[in-house]
Structure formats: structure tokens, C-alpha cells
Structure 1
């Protein structure tokens, strides 16, 4: 118990080294001088407003050089919202189709898409392929980060551009060749 007390006193003395210390009757008395004054609320608000004017302003996003991590993070969220939103909308429409008299069963969907012009088919496939492949590849990238792998700056940048490249190649392959 005595050793704990000695340690605590030493710790207090070390922590208080920035304060003025005086010794009275064998005890160390710590004093920190602060200038205080009583002010009314209106004067206090003025002082606070002046202090706020002198504070540094945090830098705005416009001064930063955009990086792949910024774009990849934003696109990952956007593609996730688009893909899940499309899935929910189609799911709700599919469930409501018998009640509303819509024909969303497979044979009628295949017949409808087969009647589209080639440009519309390619556009529809690309509209789904690019977000799907980017979100999938970037999701794998995030899973490797969850394992603690590839967290160095250069590796993050390299894997970001690799994800973009693989997305373009796989989405174009899906769009035109499959």
C-alpha cells in the first residue's frame, strides 16, 4: 500500500511539473495562475465571438488533390445503393405484378428484351454490368482490408486502380461477349 502511495505522489509531481509549486509545512502545494474576471452574458458572447474569429478554419475539400481512395469509396456506396435499390424495386414490382396485371414472368420478360434493338440491349447490359462488377471487385478489396492485408498507401492506390481496370475489362466482356 505504501508503494502505491509513493508511486501516486511521484506521478502527481511529474504531472504537475508545468505548474508553479511551493512547499509549505512539508507538503507541495500546486498553483496554476489563470486570469479570470466576472463578465455579464453579453460581454461573454462578444469574447466568444472574437475567439471564434481567430480560430483556424479546417481546410475545404476543394484544396485536396482527389485520390483513387476517395473516388472508389464514393462509387462503392453509390453502386451499392443503385444495385440494392434496383433489386428492391424489381422485387416489389414482381410481387405486385399479379395484382396489378403486369406480366413479369420469365417468358414474357425474355420476349420483351428480345424485341429491343441491339443498342438498347447493350446499353441495358452495360448499365447493370459496370456497377455490379465495380461493387463486387471493390467489395473483395475491402474484405482483404478486413483481414489486415494491403493497408499501405501504395498498395491501396495500386489495388484501387486494379479494381477499376478489372471492372472495365470484366464489364466490357460481359456487355459485348456474353
Structure 2
């Protein structure tokens, strides 16, 4: 009974200290030798001198890596184009807001006239075609981002995730956003 307990403790100690040496200890080393640490395996260290430039080693390794396909090999689809435009319009709208708000707050100190009265006067001086084009250009990113945001919220609910529905809703978003941007410009 005592010898079994010594053997178990020795094997546990060896498994914690040297997990890979566990197999060899089971193949012939006595429990006493394992307990006293007399069966430690060693191996000779071999290395070759490396005279190659480390940066060239990395360049050679990169040449052997697989290359991921680029977007140019795929046929453009309304799903990924719409999602990309959604992100682009979001960044454009928020960036424009931050720049405009900063300019508006700094305008009194810089002598700029960005108050409402001067903006209305500047817009009123433009020809009708320029007004409609400018207002459409400003409204289109907003309307597209808003309409496509609703589409993305539907996807988050797990609805409309089949290819025919994605194509149909993608073109619907494009049409509705153009129509609503022109409608806002004509107001």
C-alpha cells in the first residue's frame, strides 16, 4: 500500500514538472528514481549559425504566404456596395458635422460670418439650379444613410437575409433615397 502511494505521488510530481517526460518514466524508471528526480531526460542542443539578414528572412516568408483575393475579382453586388456606401456616408456625415460645428463655434473669433442670416442671404443669391443641386448633394448622403440604416436594422432582427430580398431592398433604398433627396431639395 505504501509503495503504491509513493509511486502515485512521484508520477503526479513528474506530470506537473515535466509533462513530456511522463511517458518515459512509465517505461522503466522506478518510482523512487522518479521521486528523487534521478531520471531527468536531457538532449543535446544543436543549432546552426545563421548568417542571413533577419529582414530578408521575413521577406522570403512573406513570398510563401497565401494571398487573399481582392475585391476586384468579385462581381459588384448591391449588398456589399450598399454596406460600403452606408459606412462611407456615415463617416462623411459625422465628419461634416464636426467640421461645421467647429467652424461655427470658432467663427466669431476668426471674423467669419456663419450665422443664420448670412447663410440665408448666401443661399438666396444662388440661381435656382445651383440651389437644387447643392441641396440635393447635401441631402443625398443623409437620406441614403437613413434608409439603409433601416435596412440594416431589419437585418439585425434577422429579417430579409436571403439574396433576392437583399437585392430588392438594396435597389429600393437607392431609389427611395434619390427620390427623397430630390424632394427635400425642392422644398
Q: Same fold (TM over 0.5)?
A: yes
Equivalent residue for 1:140?
150
CA distance in 2, matches of 1:102, 1:153: 51
CA distance in 1, matches of 2:82, 2:49: 49
Return closer, same or farther for 1:39/1:157 CA change in 2, 3 Å cut-off: farther
- How many residue pairs match? The answer is 140
Matched, 1:80 2:90: yes
Equivalent residue for 1:162?
172
Kindly indicate which of the two structures has a greater share of residues assigned to strand.
1
Equivalent residue for 2:21?
none
Instruction: Give 3-state SS (helix, strand or coil) of 2:75's partner.
Output: coil
CA distance in 2, matches of 1:73, 1:114: 36
Matched, 1:66 2:76: yes
**1:79 offset after TM fit, Å?**
1.0
CA distance in 2, matches of 1:152, 1:74: 19
**1:142 offset after TM fit, Å?**
0.8
Equivalent residue for 2:117?
107
Return closer, same or farther for 1:51/1:80 CA change in 2, 3 Å cut-off: closer
- Which of 126, 151, 158 is matched with 1:116 structurally? 126
Return closer, same or farther for 1:86/1:52 CA change in 2, 3 Å cut-off: closer
Q: Deviations over 1:117-172 (max 9, x none)?
A: 22321221011111111011001111111122111222112111110111111112
Whichever of the two has the greater Rg, that structure is 2
C-alpha RMSD of the superposition: 2.8
**1:110 offset after TM fit, Å?**
0.8
Instruction: Give 3-state SS (helix, strand or coil) of 1:71's partner.
Output: helix
Q: TM-score, normalised by structure 2?
A: 0.63
Q: Deviations over 1:62-101 (max 9, x none)?
A: 2211100121111111111111111111101111111112
**1:50 offset after TM fit, Å?**
9.1
**1:59 offset after TM fit, Å?**
2.9
**1:39 offset after TM fit, Å?**
7.9
Unaligned runs of 5+ in 1: 1-37
Matched, 1:126 2:131: no
